[in-house]
Amino acid sequence: MELRKNLPEIFEDFAEGRRNSFLNVKKIKEQDKPVIGIFCTYFPQELAVAMNAAVVSLCATSDETIPAAEADLPKNLCPLIKSSYGFGKTDKCPFFYFSDLVVGETTCDGKKKMYEYMADFKPVHIMELPNCPTENGVEMYKKEIIRMKEKLEEVFGVTITEEDIRRGIRVKNAERIALKNLYSIMKADPAPISGTDLMNTLVATTFNFEREKIPAQMEALIEKIKAEANPTEKKPRILITGCPMGGATMKVVEAVEESGAVVVGFENCSGAKSVEENVDESNPDVYDALARKYVNIGCSCMTPNDNRIKLLNSMIDEYNVDGVVDMELQACHTYAVETLRIKRFVNDEKKIPYMNLETDYSQADVGQLKTRIAAFIEML
Ligand code: BJ8
């Protein structure tokens, strides 16, 4: 990061880095390094770091390939699933194209059934994720993580030692701490940057293949923000929760911020959900340590999903949140069913306003979203 640049230019650099990542993944292939494509934060990336493989996120966030996907999949299916499948099927995503192996998990029903068709045109490995974040679930996922490691060894002809995995854990823990330090700057009131810049930066870092460099980059960015961002206006402070954010769904963040509020936190997968908790480096059993961290991710695919409530509880307090916006993607049943529990918790226990909205990857509802969100913000 060039420290002579001003903040807007630096945020633009992160966006540029994401665009360049298409070229970077090509370079990685030219160096004969393995590329693993993933769809979910339940994949323990420590295994990939342990074998020096690049990890690319294949969760698509645009509606471009949905019509192609709908030739094979039902129309009434989550846009994330259709879009991701469509990019793979039409070969429009370079990350998918360059992935040697795609890893999926048994999360929601739509995703796990989609992988069956995806396996027709790409090698796919499925990790069986438990439904419940219990000791049984941890035991089961531990076995799956070991099976995943063995699959990687078989496909790529490598040996992954426990020492390699420990290095992977250290690298990923340092990365998570750095990302948490970045989004924690939003605890300040007024918030120093917009939620839009924050989310775009968080998403861009997932496309940085030099993971060891992320902590220093985040540190430099935080210094820059502290030195240059001097907001004076206090605004209503919004926490966003629900399905993963990014790409087309940034329309929700933009609508919040255009209405005069600021998004101070993202509990979603692209935000705190997978970053808050680290892997216990003192656990002598690396597989147990990984299983415990990952099974604790508060996704609505888990039942009961107390970990989401736990994280929301601390974020609402720490970020001094005035209102919660719960974003559901169309036909995402697990998150949709969970809205009632989240509403009850936010209204009854935290005593602050809550709204939930359902959207997809089209821009057709932007006007309606803006009207609803503006009315919500006005009420705060
Ligand atoms: S850990 S949030 S990345 S599953 S939105 S495809 S749940 S129907 S994306 Fe997710 Fe992993 Fe959970 Fe995170 Fe299904 Fe819902 Fe679509 Fe979803």
The per-residue pLDDT for 217 is: 94
pLDDT at 9 over 80: no
Q: What is the Å distance from ligand 1's center to 113 Cα?
A: 13
The per-residue pLDDT for 2 is: 52
As a whole number of angstroms, the distance between CA 350 and CA 321 comes to 10
Q: Where are the alpha helices (DSSP H) in 157-285?
A: 162-184, 195-205, 214-228, 250-258
Q: How confident is the model at residue 104 (pLDDT cuts 50, 70, 90)?
A: very high
The per-residue pLDDT for 27 is: 86
50, 168 Cβ separation under 8 angstroms? yes
Residue 281: closest CA among 171, 194, 116, 363: 171
Residue 60: closest CA among 42, 37, 32: 37
Q: How confident is the model at residue 352 (pLDDT cuts 50, 70, 90)?
A: very high
As a whole number of angstroms, the distance between CA 36 and CA 70 comes to 26
- Ligand 1 test: best mutation among 63, 113, 243, 294, most atoms within 8 Å of CB? 243
Q: How do residues 78-98 score in pLDDT, each as one tens digit?
A: 999 999 999 999 988 989 999
Q: How confident is the model at residue 4 (pLDDT cuts 50, 70, 90)?
A: low
Percent of residues, the chain, with pLDDT higher than 70: 98
pLDDT at 3 over 60: no
As a whole number of angstroms, the distance between CA 120 and CA 109 comes to 18
pLDDT at 378 over 60: yes
Q: What is the Å distance from ligand 1's center to 299 Cα?
A: 7
Output the residue whose Cα is nearest ligand 1's atom 10.
40
pLDDT at 17 over 90: no
Q: What is the Å distance from ligand 1's center to 127 Cα?
A: 15
Q: How confident is the model at residue 21 (pLDDT cuts 50, 70, 90)?
A: confident
Q: What is the Å distance from ligand 1's center to 59 Cα?
A: 9
Q: How do residues 166-217 score in pLDDT, each as one tens digit?
A: 999 999 999 999 999 999 999 999 999 999 999 999 998 988 888 999 999 9
Output the residue whose Cα is nearest ligand 1's atom 12.
299
Q: What is the Å distance from ligand 1's center to 98 Cα?
A: 23
Q: What is the Å distance from ligand 1's center to 188 Cα?
A: 30
Output the residue whose Cα is nearest ligand 1's atom 14.
108
Q: How do residues 115-163 score in pLDDT, each as one tens digit?
A: 999 999 999 999 999 999 999 999 999 999 999 999 999 999 999 999 9
Q: How do residues 310-349 score in pLDDT, each as one tens digit?
A: 999 999 999 999 999 999 999 999 999 999 999 999 999 9
Classified as helix, coil or strand, 279 is coil
The per-residue pLDDT for 321 is: 98
- Ligand 1 test: best mutation among 252, 266, 301, 358, most atoms within 8 Å of CB? 301
For the CA of 109, the closest atom of ligand 1 is: 14
> With a 6 A CB cut-off, is 355 part of the ligand 1 pocket?
no
For the record, the structure tokens of 133 come out as 């974040």
Q: What is the Å distance from ligand 1's center to 374 Cα?
A: 27
> With a 6 A CB cut-off, is 295 part of the ligand 1 pocket?
no
Torsion sign over Cα 145, 150, 154, 158 = positive
For the record, the structure tokens of 14 come out as 């992160």
Q: How do residues 246-269 score in pLDDT, each as one tens digit?
A: 999 999 999 999 999 999 999 999
pLDDT at 291 over 70: yes
Q: Kindly provide the b/e burial profile for residues 325-361, where b requires at least 16 CB atoms within 10 angstroms of the residue's own CB.
A: bbbbbbbbebbbebbeebbebbeeebeebbbbbbbbb
Output the residue whose Cα is nearest ligand 1's atom 7.
108
For the CA of 335, the closest atom of ligand 1 is: 15
